[in-house]
Amino acid sequence: MTKKKLIYIILFLAPFAFIFLSLFVGRYPLSVPEVARILWGKLIFSAWGLQDISTTIVWDIRLPRAILGALVGGSLAVSGAAFQGLFRNPLVSSGILGVSSGAGFGAALAILLFNTTSYIYIFAFCFGGMAVLFSFLIGKIYNTTPTIMLVLGGVIVSSVFSALISFAKYVADPYNQLPAITFWLMGSLASARYQDIMVAGVPMLLGIAGLIAVRWRINILSMGDREAHTLGLNTALSKGIVVICATLATAGAVCVSGIIGWVGLVIPHIGRMLVGNDNKILIPTSLALGACFLILVDNLGRVISGSEIPLGILTALVGGPFFVYLLKKTKGGGW
Amino acid sequence: MPLVEVSNAGFGYNGRAIFKNINLEVREGEVFCIVGPNGCGKTTFLDCLLGLLKLDQGDILLGGRNIKTIRPPDVAKVLAYVPQSHQKTFPYTVMEIVLMGRASYTGIFSSPSPADISIAEEALAIVGLQEYRNRPYTQLSGGEGQLVMIARALAQKTPVIIMDEPTAHLDFKHELTVLETMVQLVRNTGKSVIMATHFPNHAFYFENNDVPTSVALMDKLTFSVIGRPGEVLSEKNLKSLYRINARVVSYQLDHNTEVKQIIPISTLYSKESERVN
């Protein structure tokens, strides 16, 4: 019991620790007292402008980036865990209903048409939401929404939007637009500013909060429609809440960070190995782990080579071997 | 007032009738067995009872109220369901599974309370699995898994439990464990059970144990006969229901216990059949 409590306390504090530690990571070396001085100054005497280089680096570059990383990682992991439960399938990730490919196409379209970041966010978010809506409508062909039809809808919509992404790349100007699209699709937190956090943070936080609120219901949904209904659930309503919240969180994350795979698939499993399958505990655990993981990977991406390595690449390169290690260590946690 | 009352129920898919004119009444402390050949519509009928499908004709009343007017969580406070085959996905612990029986008592934004946990613990104790509470339910045997499903239904605290083939795939011992648990429940807690089964002998088992039991034979789209097992499960009825030759035998276990059983002998047109007739 005490060991469990200790794990929860560590999980709760870990994202804050990771945000703090990432303030020291980067090309420009900073000492602990220096960072402490800057934070102290900013938090207490915010009007008192000390705009030297280190302040800018800590307060305007590294801190927003770490906070955004925590939000994005947490959103992807939580919605992945929720979808795995809802679809009763451990191989599902946050993009299952097409939100990632929809958002990817939205971003590509915005790059083709306008090439300013604010339009990219709006287009990515709207197309991501639209893709999920299409999946839902396809799933509703038989009037009810059996889970398997939703998945099928997601698969269809994802592949259509992937084709549209390819088409956008094909017609893009190969010197400016094509690289922009390609880099966007690989995912990055490099452009993180406080405005981004304010804008994209709203759907992310709403989605996360909603999923945390209904997290125990996900256990029951994972028994399948039949049993969930006989256990007394209004299955359509509960499923709707989970899908909407997970979509808000994922679309919010994808629109600022691009497509970051792997987090929504694997972090929930790492959570299962640590705390078990009960979504009551698993959802908050995934939130903490996803946040830490993405901050960690983003820091790695900044340090290990001369130029930044896109996040989508590193999440898989770091996450894959780590996952295999955990599988071996915990013997799969009862699968 | 009967706990469950079905009058003139009918249901079909795309105009093809699955069943019609079904009537039944289930009272407190009673076992109601539905017996019939494969594909006769037993499961579809149970789905209608549970509110998973809507009847085309007729009405289902739960404690006098029409099921159409009752919200899902309130139906789940009257009828609990033990599925025929439960598809296991995530390795939840036994306790986590049993707690799911409390869903209809838990608000959409909340989780089970300590009171719910003690109710789930009681339910586990009734089926004798309290030792297993922290085991992943995916690692249990078929019989134990079925008992966990029964415990989950018990945690629902309903007057009626609906079971679809509760002993499918179980060996003799586990089959008896499940049946004994059911007898205990009906006797000690006054619960009623509606079950579909492929083993008419189950109806005899309950009758042999002095549990008030009714059997309905589901044949030609409806309940052709309803009554006590001793009357309904006759050699003649079994012949027309399953197209088999069978014998109903009785064995005097001691002076006040008589055990009745059906022995299936042959299909109607086999070689063996000539000898029996």
> In this structure, what CATH number is given to the domain that contains residue B230?
3.40.50.300
pLDDT at B123: 94
What string of H, E and C letters represents the secondary structure of chain B?
A: CCCEEEEEEEEEECCEEEEEEEEEEECCCCEEEEECCCCCCHHHHHHHHCCCCCCCEEEEEECCEEHHHCCHHHHCCCEEEECCCCCCCCCCEHHHHHHHHHHHHCCCCCCCCHHHHHHHHHHHHHCCCHHHCCCEHHHCCHHHHHHHHHHHHHHCCCCEEEEECCCCCCCHHHHHHHHHHHHHHHHHHCCEEEEEECCCHHHHHHHHCCCCEEEEEEECCEEEEEECHHHHCCHHHHHHHHCEEEEEEEEEEECCEEEEEEEEEEECCCHHHHHHC
Contact B221, B18 (CB under 8 A): yes
CATH number of A2-333: 1.10.3470.10
Same domain assignment for residues B149 and B234 = no
pLDDT at A77: 96
**pLDDT of residue A49 exceeding 60:** no
Q: Which helix (H) or strand (E) holds A207?
A: helix A194-213
CB atoms within 10 A of CB A42: 17
CB contact under 8 A, A88 and B89: yes
Chain A residues with CB-CB distance to B74 below 8 A: 232
**pLDDT of residue A29 exceeding 90:** no
Tokens 């809808």 belong to residue:
A153
Same domain assignment for residues B169 and B237 = yes
Pairing relation of β-strands B57-62 and B31-35?
A: unpaired
Same domain assignment for residues B137 and B97 = yes
CB contact under 8 A, B111 and A226: no
Most confident of A187-191, A316-320, B131-135: B131-135
Same domain assignment for residues B107 and B131 = yes
**pLDDT of residue A332 exceeding 60:** no
pLDDT at A48: 54
What mean pLDDT do residues A105-112 have?
A: 93
On whether residue B83 sits in a domain, the answer given is no
Quickly state the pLDDT bin for A37 (edges 50, 70, 90): confident
Same domain assignment for residues B33 and B67 = yes
- Residue B78 φ then ψ, to 5°: -110, -40
Same domain assignment for residues B94 and B70 = no
Torsion of CA B101, B102, B104, B105, to 10 degrees: 160
pLDDT at A43: 75
On whether residue B108 sits in a domain, the answer given is yes
Any B CB within 8 A of A240 CB: no
**Domain end residue (candidates: B138, B157, B176):** B157
Nearest alpha-carbon partner for A103 in A164, A61, A49, A20: A164
pLDDT at B109: 87
pLDDT tens digits, A192-204: 888 888 889 999 9
Chain B residues with CB-CB distance to A278 below 8 A: 92-93, 96
- Residue B61 φ then ψ, to 5°: -110, 130
Any B CB within 8 A of A217 CB: yes
**Domain end residue (candidates: B101, B122, B157):** B157
Any B CB within 8 A of A169 CB: no
pLDDT at A316: 84
Contact A99, A131 (CB under 8 A): yes
pLDDT at A92: 84
Quickly state the pLDDT bin for B8 (edges 50, 70, 90): very high
pLDDT tens digits, A292-318: 999 999 999 888 877 888 888 888 888
Any B CB within 8 A of A277 CB: yes
Contact A260, A319 (CB under 8 A): no
CB neighbour list of residue B267: distance below 8 Å, 6 or more residues apart: B243, B244, B245, B273
Percent of chain A with pLDDT over 70: 94
* Angstrom distance (rounded) from CA A172 to CA A21: 40
- Residue B25 φ then ψ, to 5°: -135, 130
Chain B residues with CB-CB distance to A230 below 8 A: 50, 52, 76, 79-81
Host domain of residue B142:
88-157
Same domain assignment for residues B236 and B259 = yes
Same domain assignment for residues B228 and B178 = yes
pLDDT at A45: 66
pLDDT at A306: 75
**Domain end residue (candidates: B157, B186, B205):** B157
**pLDDT of residue B253 exceeding 90:** no
Same domain assignment for residues B208 and B101 = no
Which residue has better confidence, B255 or A233? A233
Same domain assignment for residues B166 and B265 = yes
Quickly state the pLDDT bin for A331 (edges 50, 70, 90): low
CB neighbour list of residue B249: distance below 8 Å, 6 or more residues apart: B260, B261, B262, B263
User: Total structural domains in chain B?
Assistant: 2
pLDDT tens digits, B77-129: 999 999 987 788 889 999 999 999 999 999 888 889 999 999 999 999 999 99
Test mutation, B71, B100, B154, B162, chain A, max A CBs within 10 A: B100
Q: Which of B72, B83, B111 lies nearest to residue A216, judging by beta carbons?
A: B111
**pLDDT of residue B226 exceeding 90:** yes
Percent of chain B with pLDDT over 90: 64
Same domain assignment for residues B272 and B219 = yes
Residue in B with minimal Cα distance to A213:
B109
The domain locations on chain A are 2-333
Picking from A21-25, A55-59, A208-212, B214-218, which range would have the lowest pLDDT averaged per residue? Answer: A55-59
* Angstrom distance (rounded) from CA B97 to CA B95: 5
pLDDT at A110: 93
Quickly state the pLDDT bin for B215 (edges 50, 70, 90): very high
Mean pLDDT of chain A: 88
CB contact under 8 A, B76 and A214: no
pLDDT tens digits, A257-294: 998 988 998 899 989 988 989 999 999 999 999 999 99
Contact B70, B62 (CB under 8 A): yes
CB contact under 8 A, A335 and B104: no
* Angstrom distance (rounded) from CA B206 to CA B101: 26
Same domain assignment for residues B97 and B213 = no
DSSP character for A48? S
Chain B residues with CB-CB distance to A333 below 8 A: 91
**pLDDT of residue A137 exceeding 80:** yes
Nearest alpha-carbon partner for B100 in A147, A48, A203, A224: A224
* Angstrom distance (rounded) from CA B10 to CA B26: 18
Residue in A with minimal Cα distance to B101:
A231
pLDDT at A280: 94
Any B CB within 8 A of A269 CB: no
Chain A residues with CB-CB distance to B156 below 8 A: 231-232
pLDDT at B270: 76
Most confident of A29-43, A136-150, A320-334, B181-195: B181-195
On whether residue B25 sits in a domain, the answer given is yes
pLDDT tens digits, A167-187: 999 999 898 889 889 988 998
On whether residue B195 sits in a domain, the answer given is yes
pLDDT at B197: 92
Smallest CA–CA separation between B197 and chain A, in Å?
Answer: 19
